[in-house]
Amino acid sequence: MQIVLSKEQELDYALEFISDLIGVSSIDIMGKTRIRDAVIARHFLRYYLKNKCFFSFSEIGRMTGCNHATVIHSVKYVEDCAPYDRLYSLYKDSVDKGILKTNSDIRVGISRILAARRSNEFKCNALISLLNERIKNSNE
């Protein structure tokens, strides 16, 4: 027996999945912010809804608060960038297979370091120590 979800339930599940995958809150994904990670998450949410839930471009546009042409652009952008961008490829594979392949903890740490209003030298040192700590923990 197959469980049938309503459109709202499918949107909520897709939002949760993409939020966990990329490490961006669902509020930021559905908002109007132009922060790069939120924009990427929006692209992948629309890609997910088109390829996993089989909604029309118009339906996805209504659900995500945009025009159907924006949805077409998002889906095409994900498909075009995945062969050339490792991060897009990782996210696209995760969406296509329905599994989470990324560790959002380290991604959040890196995002916080890069967003800090500090010198580039500080940021480099902080990134190196974060990665060294991660390598040390993975060897244990």
Q: What is the pLDDT along the chain (140 residues), one digit of tens a residue?
A: 556 678 888 999 999 999 888 888 999 999 999 999 899 999 999 999 999 999 999 999 999 999 999 999 999 999 999 999 888 888 898 899 887 655 556 666 776 776 666 777 887 887 788 777 877 776 76
Sign of the dihedral defined by the CA atoms of residues 7, 11, 14, 20, in that order: negative
Token pair recorded at residue 104:
């959002």
Q: Are 133 and 110 in contact (CB under 8 A)?
A: no
* pTM for this model (two decimals): 0.71
**Taking Cα atoms as reference points, which of 108, 49, 94 lies closest to residue 75?**
49
